[in-house]
A and B are shown apart, each in its own frame.
Chain A
Amino acid sequence: MLSPLAVKQWRRFRSIRRGYWSALILTATIVLSLGAELLVNSRALVVFYQGELFFPTYGAFLPGTTFGLDYDFETDYRDLKRVFAQRGEGDWVLLPPVAFNALENDLKTDSYPPYSPSLRSGHYLGTDSTGRDVLARLVYGFRTAMAFSFVLLAFNYAIGIATGCAMGFWGGAFDLLFQRLIEILNNVPTLYVIMIVASVVVPNFWTLLAVMVLLGWTQMTWYMRTSTYKEKSREYVVAARALGATSVRMIGSHILPNAISVIVTFIPFSVAGGVTLLTALDYLGFGLPPPTPSWGEMLSQGTSHLESPWIVTSVVAAMVVVLLMVTYVGEAIREAFDPKQFTYYE
């Protein structure tokens, strides 16, 4: 059951068209990117061979011999399509809209990559300097960045909210101790420290995440501390205490629900921050290990191949569009939670 306030906020959010539509488009894009294997992949969606249907997208790879080709490694479905067309025996291959995955190098015999965008070759946004499809890397890079950002957010918020709440609730020495700890963490250049650690320990998705959480969990603590502090002295909490409620109950069913509602307004900005941080790290070469498709790695390729502007243009455009939309959503949510009324003079 939604509270009347939440309904009102939702109405207000919907009335801000820009943010509402951005939210819809972003959600759709994220959901689509979860099934990216069906849209951008070197594996065919459906193969019809000798009266039998094959769905190679998920699961183990099908060797070329499955379709009467003369090799045991994975079938080249783009090639298979040509072969079937030549044979003209009624077999067919249905390829995804973009028939490349993010890791394969599609090289030509007569020239060196990067190849410029072309409809004929199927590289709609061209390829990067090792012949990998830019669009495919963009799509999978988006998925990586978003996944990373959301997991990072979940950890940072969980730790930040818990710590901040405890600091506001208990106060005293515990509060002072954590204040110092947070101040110390805020006094080191986060990006540089992550890079130092990454230069010694080659990071993967989870180790990189762990380092970032270790340095970044402080984000929400100040806010939670202050709002817990305020809620704690309200009459309804004092009443609950007088009725004999335990600390857990006071926090869990009284303070937290009230203090936490506004946290929603920070989420879009944290998502944008996560994407920005990961991309910066990848750009500098200290992020996720290659050949993980990532926007930062593409930015770095783009800037070192400025004579092939399709690489850098694609990534910059993608980043601008995504970050603008995320920020539109953020502004709309903020507006919905706190419609500002200003006085102004004529």
Chain B
Amino acid sequence: MTSYFVRRFLLILPTFLGVTVLVFTLTRLVPGGPIERMLNEAAMAGADNAGATSGYDGHGAGALSDQQIEELKAYYGFDKPVLVAYADWLGKVLTLDLGTSTRYSEPVWETVKGRLPISIFYGVATLILTYGVCVPLGIVKAIRHKTAFDNLSSAVVFFGYAIPSYVVAIALLTGFAANLEWFPLGGFVSDDFDDLSGLEKAGDVASHAVLPLLSYMAGSFAVTTLLMKNSLMDNLAAEYVRTAIAKGMNFRAAVFGHALRNSLIPIATSFGNNITLIVTGSFLIEKIFNIDGFGLLGFESLVERDYPVVMGILVISSLLFLIGNILSDVCVALTDPRVKFGSGESGQ
């Protein structure tokens, strides 16, 4: 086990370097960078085609002052050889110096840090709700396979599986917030939040959270439930469970004592990826409900062409993905004693 972890962690290094190289390549896209220069030269050559591109919020040239462009150039080292610029930039990233936001004129890390609590609130709530609902539901569905309850809940699960969470979010927003007016149209809290008493505050946050949480859950609900159900059914059909039942063990003890633990292994494989959701949320859902979290910041920065924040967010999310994958592997190794590094093919 220890040697597995050591080797797994050693492999982080090339992946980490690879990811940073990729992100660094993308930083070459920011205004003042080599890509823009190339584009400008191309645009000069074909100036006649320029008319088609203007007048759209996501695209087109942004309004950055010369001074800001100079700052970008200095931060990303456009004047240095590529390798030197990369090493310098990597050093800065590792010390959390992600540059200065052109929109807020404060360090990117400070801007990002301010948005994290909201995203983490939704991430943790989603995580608890998803596992709290999906695992028991999956177990019940597996035990009561082909009953009315199973069929009915399968319809719901299937729906959640087929429809992406942002469509669910838009449907919920239209139906329950705009039409029925049961819930607010968006935001994290109401405008008069500071005037409310403690209990009202909690109620306010909750009423704002219902629809986004449902949308978040729609994203992972179906997959987790089905995974739980199918793997438990596979295990229930396995010989060791049949043997246990044949020996006279009662069914409940066989499920919870033997089959369940093994069925949790597939669930564990995706557990680490939750860290990305917890910290970054989904910018589609944050945009739809106008929740001022990490995701919306990423989206707005891109629209406002605040590239230091954009690249900072890209760096942070990529690193979180990386950590998430490692966490998943650790979870699997902890739940599945068969995992040994390098024997992946024969073990499958």
* A residues adjacent to B (C-beta < 8 A): 180-181, 183-189, 191-193, 195-202, 226, 229, 272, 276, 279-280, 283-286, 289-290, 299, 302-303, 306-307, 309, 312-313, 316, 319-320, 323-324, 326-327, 331, 342-345
Determine whether the beta carbon of B164 is less than 8 Å from that of A280. Answer: yes
Determine whether the beta carbon of A344 is less than 8 Å from that of B18. Answer: no
Residue of A192, A272, A309 near B174 (CB, 8 A) is: A309
Q: In this assembly, does B126 line the interface, its C-beta being within 8 Å of a C-beta of chain A?
A: no
Determine whether the beta carbon of A196 is less than 8 Å from that of B26. Answer: yes
What is the bound-complex CA distance between A165 and B286, given in angstroms?
Answer: 39
Q: In this assembly, does B145 line the interface, its C-beta being within 8 Å of a C-beta of chain A?
A: yes
Residue of B26, B35, B237, B345 near A342 (CB, 8 A) is: B237
A36 to chain B, nearest CB (A): 23
Determine whether the beta carbon of B56 is less than 8 Å from that of A196. Answer: no
Determine whether the beta carbon of A343 is less than 8 Å from that of B60. Answer: no
Residue of A185, A202, A284, A316 near B299 (CB, 8 A) is: A284
Residue of A nearest to B179 (CB): A309
Determine whether the beta carbon of B53 is less than 8 Å from that of A327. Answer: no
Determine whether the beta carbon of A200 is less than 8 Å from that of B167. Answer: no
Residues of A within 8 A of B15 (CB): 180, 183-184, 187
Closest 6 CB pairs of A and B: A184-B18, A327-B162, A285-B58, A343-B237, A306-B178, A187-B321
Q: In this assembly, does B47 line the interface, its C-beta being within 8 Å of a C-beta of chain A?
A: no
Q: Residues 25-68 of chain B: 1 if any A CB is under 8 Å from the residue's CB, otherwise 0?
A: 01001100001100100000000000011001111100000000
Interface of A: prevailing SS: helix
With A199-B59, A342-B145 known as contacts, the answer to whether A229 contacts B167 (CB < 8 A) is no
B187 to chain A, nearest CB (A): 14
Between A and B, 28 residue pairs with Cβ closer than 8 Å are: A181-B18, A184-B19, A187-B321, A187-B325, A188-B23, A192-B298, A193-B314, A195-B299, A195-B302, A196-B26, A198-B59, A200-B30, A202-B59, A284-B58, A285-B57, A285-B303, A286-B302, A289-B52, A303-B170, A306-B174, A306-B178, A309-B179, A313-B174, A316-B174, A319-B167, A323-B163, A323-B164, A324-B162
B326 to chain A, nearest CB (A): 10
A263 to chain B, nearest CB (A): 18
B223 to chain A, nearest CB (A): 12
Determine whether the beta carbon of A189 is less than 8 Å from that of B58. Answer: no
B241 to chain A, nearest CB (A): 9
Determine whether the beta carbon of A226 is less than 8 Å from that of B314. Answer: no
Name 5 extra pairs, CB < 8 A, besides A196-B314, A200-B30, A343-B237.
A192-B298, A198-B58, A286-B58, A312-B170, A344-B145
